[in-house]
Each structure stands twice: as C-alpha cells, then as structure tokens.
A and B are shown apart, each in its own frame.
Chain A
Amino acid sequence: DAGVTQSPTHLIKTRGQQVTLRCSPKSGHDTVSWYQQALGQGPQFIFQYYEEEERQRGNFPDRFSGHQFPNYSSELNVNALLLGDSALYLCASSLPRGEQYFGPGTRLTVT
C-alpha cells in the first residue's frame, strides 16, 4: 500500500515565478492538507481540501492556492514567489476527522 507521495522532491525557482507542487494521498484517504515548514520551525497549516473544495485555510496570503481532483490528489500553487517562501512543503492525507499521514515533502528554494 503506497503512502502519501509528493512531487517533485526538490525545486529551485526565481523570485516572481510561479510553482505547482503535487500530492497523491494514501489509499482510502479523501482529505488532503498542506503545510509549510520553514527551516528550524514546526509545520504551519496552509489549507485543507475535502470533496474538491477548500475546507479550512490557515493564515497564508491568496498567492497560495490549491486544487483537489476527483481521484483525491491535490496541487498546491504559489504565485509571485518570494524569498520567504523557501521551505519544505508537506502534504498530509487523512479521512475527514482522522489522523494525518505525511508525505516526504517538496523542498522549494527561491533565489
């Protein structure tokens, strides 16, 4: 049984560019959450998707957007990248009120 998978593993972008990160949930899970983990910090909640709709959102600007597909996979899009967006982006999947299982993350570096 495959766990949560994320792609790409690493990404380098330039300020002002746009990026798309992808996540496939664990089999049987229908809820996907995204977190940003800056260096030396705990993960910060970005948003959560369920039934292809954004269900909850953390304190992140509108430059951060997402999408969930009918097969429950999800994308995180970040526009107008800033240096401060450099972080490890973690995707987690779960049932609607169950424990969350995390993927390995995507390391984004903005130069």
Chain B
Amino acid sequence: AQSVTQPDIHITVSEGASLELRCNYSYGATPYLFWYVQSPGQGLQLLLKYFSGDTLVQGIKGFEAEFKRSQSSFNLRKPSVHWSDAAEYFCAVGVMEYGNKLVFGAGTILRVKS
C-alpha cells in the first residue's frame, strides 16, 4: 500500500534561516509527488509537484524540492524563511492507477521565530 512519512511533527526555525522538511514515500510505481501548505483553518495550496524529468523542482514562494529515488525521498527546502511561511506542510504521493487520488503524510508544523 502507498504511504507517506513526514518524520518531523514540528520544526522551529529563525526568520532568515534555511529550511528543510523531510518526506519519505512508499509506492511501487514511479511516483507523482506533491507538497501542499495549509494555513490554520484553510484549505491546501499546492507549492510544487514532481511528475518526471529534472529531479529538482521549483515551486511558488521560493520553495524547491528534490526527488531522490534511491532514498524514496522528496524533501522540501527554502534558503531563507520568512515569518509568513509559518503554516503546516503536507507531502503527498499521487496514486495514478485509476484516477489520481492523493495519499498524504501527517504533516509538519513550521514555526518561525523572529
């Protein structure tokens, strides 16, 4: 069965510091991978996606993620965090067997300290 693991429940970083959020997936086929961000009480906003090709993908708000097949990972990075990045981040794998359902990780809550 497909699964996504986000090992860190909470992460706190200082404003201006770099950020890396970890994501590991389990999926038998070539994965479609996504990162979403959710502000409190809101829906999910798509940050970036990986379907194929270049393993380093760029997204919105200065985020990027790198797909590493050998490690089954898709970690999210940002070189300099802003206070407005405080939110919950979800990694997801797209199961494209018949349709395109998403399997999500449990999320990582990012706190930014000034």
Q: Chain A residues in contact with chain B, CB under 8 A? A: 4, 31, 33, 35, 41-45, 48, 50, 55-56, 58, 90, 92, 94, 96-105, 107
Contact = CB atoms under 8 A, between A and B. Distances in A.
Nearest to B41: A107
B106 interface: yes
Given A42-B107, A99-B34, A99-B49, A104 B43 contact: yes
Contact of A56 (B44, B45, B101, B104): B101
Interface residues of B, number: 24
Interface string B75-99: 0000000000000001010101011
Contact of B100 (A31, A41, A42, A43): A31
Contacts of B105: 42
Most buried by A among B34, B36, B90, B96: B36
Contact of A43 (B41, B45, B49, B90): B90
11 contacts: A42-B4, A42-B105, A43-B44, A50-B99, A92-B102, A99-B34, A99-B46, A99-B94, A102-B36, A102-B43, A107-B41
Nearest to B46: A99
